[in-house]
Every structure is written in structure tokens, then in C-alpha cells.
Amino acid sequence: MKFLKNHPFSVQAFFESSVVLSFAIPVIQLQSLIPPCLELDTYDDKWGFVAAAMVQTKALRPKGFPKFLGNDFYLIGFRIFVRYISKTGKKYRGLYIIKSETNKKKMAFFGNIFTHYNYNTTDINQSIENNTRTLYSNKSKFNIQIEITDDHEEVQLPTNSPFDDWKTARKFAGPLPFTFTYNEEEGSVLIIQGVRSNWKPKPIKIISYKIDFINQFDFKDMQLANAFEIRNIPYEWKKGRKEQWK
């Protein structure tokens, strides 16, 4: 029944919120974390990127199913920005998954049947005090504090970001259109395409962050490159498509 893990049907959901922090890390430190079929998506030939995403999702369900059969859950996902060139020469830009967590056991159970994302369950919480919004997980030792700003207030890029402006930074704002999984035993690549509309990431100001999973890699010279949020977006994952790499 392994074929079930290859996204055998399209899935749709509604993103109430997706907060994504992208971290710039020297290329040489990321290379060993991706399979040979992929290459790092880099900036200035020096920086690769790891994204940490906190997504509040509603009514996730197989495409065409009524909303009341969907599931509401939080997701913490860690992804590396990558590129893939197919056997026909077509170029894809997307993400390679290195860890996925959710706050619902039901989501983890079915997610691990129908995907290769290897979900773990954890607590995922949100609080607001004064002008600070905090996303945190006690079990996963995860804490991000966001300054609540006016919609028209200009937000500055994070200190030491490799980007010169938000326009460039936005090119490295996840999620990207494609997600890749590599099956080493088969030598195959699974390609999942995400479809969205009215995608307008809003820059956000990060007060502080502590992410134990990323800290475990002990990356040197890691910098917070950007932070964005999108709200109230319908989203769809198309049926997975497998391609033989070698």
C-alpha cells in the first residue's frame, strides 16, 4: 500500500494564516541535507534558505468533499528552498521537506498514510498581549514573537538580511509552487504542485525567535532573511506526480 503515500488525490483547504520565516544559511552547510536529484535555490551564489512555517488551516479535505468533512489544524513545517530539473529539461522551483508537525493526532495519522511528510504531533499555541503576538510550542521548544503593526506601517527587513529590499526578499517567501520528495530506493522524485490565488505575502516584524529544531543543526552565520504572513487564502495540493530520476 506504499502507493497511498504518493498524494493519490487532490486536497483542498483554507489558510486562515500562514506565517513563514526564511533563514539564510551558507550554501556549503545545506548541501548535505538535500537529495542528489535536487539543487539548492540560492541567492548571490552564497546563501541557501530554510523556511519555518506556522500554518493555521481550516477544512482540509479531499478535493470535492464538503467542508464539514474537513479538518482544522495547526502545522509547523520546515522546508529547504530547492530547484529540480526534470528528465525533459523542465525547471521547477520549490521546497524539500525536512520536518512536519501538527497539533492534531488525526491529521498526523492520515497525513502519514497519504504523504511522505512524516508528521509528529506537538502542542501549537497562539497568544496576544498588548502589541505582541506569540506563536509557540512547549513540547517542540518553539517561540516566535511578532509585533502587531498597522496594515499601512512600513516594516524594515530583518537586521543582517542578505536582501536589499522586500521585492527581492519576496522571491524567497514560502510556500513555493512545488514540493519534492525523493525515494532513494526507487530513484524517483514525487512532485506535488500547490495552487493558490490572491497570494500577497505581507512583511511582518519579528521581535524574537527561538526554534529548537533549527538550532540543532548548529548552523554558522545563519541570518533571519525575511518574514511574511498571508491570510484567508484558499489552497489546493494537486495529485502527486512521480518521475523516475535515474
Residues 6 or more apart whose Cβ sits within 8 Å of residue 139: 122, 123
Other beta carbons within 10 angstroms of residue 90's beta carbon come to 9
What's the CA gap between 59 and 68, in Å, rounded?
Answer: 7
Number of structural domains the chain divides into: 1
pLDDT value at residue 233: 92
Residues 6 or more apart whose Cβ sits within 8 Å of residue 231: 15, 16, 17, 18, 202
Cβ(138)–Cβ(199) below 8 Å: no
The CATH number of the domain where 57 resides is what? 2.40.400.10
pLDDT value at residue 1: 61
Q: Which domain range does residue 200 map to?
A: 2-244
Nearest to 35 by CA among 89, 97, 111: 97
pLDDT value at residue 175: 67
DSSP sequence for 32-98? GGS-TT-EE--BTTTEEEEEEEEEEEEEEEETTS-GGG-EEEEEEEEEEEEEEE-TT--EEEEEEEE
Measure Cα distances from 136 to 115, 146, 179, 211, 216 in Å. Answer: 25, 11, 25, 9, 17
pTM of the model: 0.93
Cβ(104)–Cβ(73) below 8 Å: yes
What's the CA gap between 189 and 183, in Å, rounded?
Answer: 6
| Interstrand relation of 202-203 and 223-237 (parallel, antiparallel or unpaired) | antiparallel
The tens-digit pLDDT sequence of the chain (246 residues) is 677 788 889 999 999 999 999 999 999 999 999 999 999 999 999 999 999 999 999 999 999 999 888 889 999 999 999 999 988 889 999 999 999 999 999 999 988 888 888 899 999 999 999 999 999 999 999 999 999 988 778 899 999 999 999 999 999 986 688 999 998 888 899 999 999 877 889 999 999 999 999 999 999 999 999 999 999 999 999 999 999 887
pLDDT value at residue 99: 95
pLDDT value at residue 116: 83
Q: Which residues pair with 50 in a beta bridge?
A: 23, 80
pLDDT digit string, tens, across residues 169-222? 999 986 688 999 998 888 899 999 999 877 889 999 999 999 999 999 999 999
